[in-house]
């Protein structure tokens, strides 16, 4: 059991994904705290916003696999999965925002005191691009260490 845990914690591909996840969420929390002008610890659990953590994780995994194994079938599989994640994160934004807008307008008509549903669920292209760059950077850092 301990050797499996040790192997997992020393696996550069696994570490790249985990560090991209934690690092992206920390950066997101810092950006949100700066915008709100107060430290917001809960922002570390924010799903949308700058940068896209989903995209950072996938690009970090793809980069780590490429650096360690080259252009293998697994690399191309993760690359295809990453393209799908990127497409879903960015292209679903418009549809989700439109649905949220409609639901909020219905709630406003039905209830005098209503809490609007949050409008931003997906990512902008800029958030996705920064996520890609961060993922690559995290994988490179893990690879060098």
Give residue-wise pLDDT tens across range 84-142: 878 877 777 777 778 888 888 888 888 777 777 766 667 788 888 999 999 999 999 99
Average pLDDT over residues 20-27: 94
Mean pLDDT over residues 21-43, rounded? 90
User: What pLDDT does 50 receive?
Assistant: 84
**pLDDT (0 to 100) of residue 118:** 67
State how far the Cα of 21 lies from the Cα of 25, in Å rounded to an integer.
6
Is-above-0.85 flag for pTM? no
- Report the alpha-carbon angle 72-75-80, nearest 5: 130
Q: How many CB atoms lie within 10 A of CB 96?
A: 15
Determine the pLDDT at residue 13.
93
Using alpha carbons, list the distances in angstroms from residue 23 to 30, 78, 91, 107.
Answer: 11, 20, 24, 37
The C-alpha atoms of residue 52 and residue 91 are separated, in whole angstroms, by 13
Question: Which segments of the chain does DSSP mark as H helices, in order?
Answer: 2-9, 12-36, 53-69, 73-110, 125-144
90-94: long-range pairs with CB below 8 Å, 24+:
90/122, 90/123, 90/124, 90/125, 90/128, 92/121, 92/122, 93/120, 93/121, 93/122, 93/123, 93/124
């Amino acid at each position: 059991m301990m050797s499996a845990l040790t192997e997992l914690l020393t696996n550069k591909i696994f570490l790249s994904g985990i560090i991209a996840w934690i690092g992206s969420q920390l950066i997101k929390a810092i950006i949100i705290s700066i915008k709100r002008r107060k430290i917001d610890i809960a922002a570390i659990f924010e799903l949308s916003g700058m940068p896209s953590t989903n995209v950072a994780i996938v690009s970090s995994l793809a980069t780590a696999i490429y650096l360690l194994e080259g252009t293998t079938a697994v690399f191309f599989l993760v690359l295809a999965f990453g393209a799908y994640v990127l497409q879903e994160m960015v292209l679903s934004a418009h549809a989700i925002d439109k649905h949220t807008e409609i639901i909020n307008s219905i709630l406003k008509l039905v209830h005098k005191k209503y809490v609007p549903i949050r409008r931003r669920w997906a990512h902008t292209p800029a958030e996705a691009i920064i996520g890609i760059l961060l993922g690559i950077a995290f994988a490179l850092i893990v690879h060098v260490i």
